């Protein structure tokens, strides 16, 4: 999934991109889809893109997944708007669709929803979050499949047990839901609490993991 940018041999990104566009078309036999895939691969190999994305089907709707050089940077539910524009503003404007670069995370999501995977192995890029929010999400990644913690417990593991409200806000804004399992955090006393991807999806995920009857 993560790709390694290579040095531009000609010293000119513009000339390199022109060559990639030309070469991507050769041998495509008139297929726009195959030409697009070839373009994405050549652009990756030439180090011309920083974020690659693709859609993947799931029981919760079509998800957009995006990866950077560091790892998975974004997973978005269907109703989320301007995801690519936000990535362009916050990560890099060099964005390209690629099923090849995103194949690992899409495969692991498929396995998770099919009940064949309990942990994700893909690397994560948490560069969209900072400070206490990043600590909260890092603590959340360590909650085991089928288990839940309260907002207070997660806040404590992030370094401030009294900051449960801030922890809730951080989880609500989680840019990598499912893989960073914010659905495994609930209210003290057993209430579900909130979820940025809607409560029905939180219920579905917890039921999938056997954490909710």
Give the helix/strand (H/E) hosting 186.
strand 185-186
Q: Is 16 a catalytic residue?
A: no
Residue in the structure block whose two tokens are 């090849």: 100
Across the chain, mean pLDDT equals 87
H-helix segments, the chain: 13-25, 32-45, 83-90, 103-113, 131-140, 151-157, 164-172, 199-208
- Complete DSSP assignment for 130-157: -HHHHHHHHHHTTSPTT--EEHHHHHHH
Q: Is the pLDDT of residue 116 over 90?
A: yes
**Mean pLDDT value across residues 85-108:** 95
pTM: 0.82
The answer on pLDDT for 71 being more than 80 is yes
Cβ atoms of 65 and 75 within 8 Å: the answer is yes
- Domains belonging to the chain, first-starting first, are 13-113 (3.30.160.70), 131-208 (1.10.10.10)
- The neighbour count for residue 67, using CB atoms within 10 Å, is 28
122 DSSP assignment: S
Question: Could you tell me if 191 and 210 are in contact, meaning their C-beta atoms sit under 8 angstroms apart?
Answer: no
Task: Exactly one of 182, 185, 206, 208 is catalytic; name it.
Answer: 182
Place of tokens 């889809």: 33
**Closest CA relative to residue 66, chosen from 56, 79, 57:** 56
21: pLDDT strictly greater than 70: no
Does the structure show a pLDDT above 80 at 4? no
The pLDDT of 171-179, averaged and rounded, is 97
Tokens of 58: 């799931």
**How confident is residue 206, by pLDDT bands cut at 50, 70 and 90?**
very high
The Cα 66–Cα 55 span in angstroms is 9
* pLDDT at residue 33 in the model: 65
Residue 174 DSSP code: -
Query: At residue 87, does pLDDT exceed 50?
Result: yes
Residue recorded with tokens 């890099």: 92
């Amino acid at each position: 999934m993560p790709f390694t940018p290579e040095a531009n041999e000609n010293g000119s990104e513009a000339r390199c991109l022109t060559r990639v566009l030309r070469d991507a078309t050769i041998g495509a036999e008139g297929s726009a889809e195959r030409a697009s895939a070839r373009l994405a691969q050549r652009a990756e190999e030439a180090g011309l893109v920083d974020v690659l994305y693709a859609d993947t089907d799931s029981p919760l709707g079509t998800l957009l997944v995006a990866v950077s050089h560091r790892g998975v940077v974004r997973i978005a539910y269907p109703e989320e708007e301007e995801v690519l524009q936000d990535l362009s503003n916050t990560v890099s404007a060099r964005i390209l669709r690629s099923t090849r670069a995103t194949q690992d995370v899409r495969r692991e999501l498929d396995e998770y929803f099919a009940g064949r995977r309990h942990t994700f192995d893909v690397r994560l890029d948490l560069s969209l979050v900072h400070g206490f929010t990043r600590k909260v999400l890092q603590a959340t990644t360590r909650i085991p499949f089928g288990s839940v913690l309260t907002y207070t417990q997660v806040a404590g593991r992030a370094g401030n047990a009294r900051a449960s409200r801030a922890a809730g806000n951080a989880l609500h804004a989680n840019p990598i839901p499912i893989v960073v399992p914010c659905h495994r955090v609930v209210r003290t006393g057993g209430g579900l609490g909130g979820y940025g991807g809607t409560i029905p999806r939180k219920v579905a995920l917890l039921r999938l993991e056997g954490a909710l009857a």
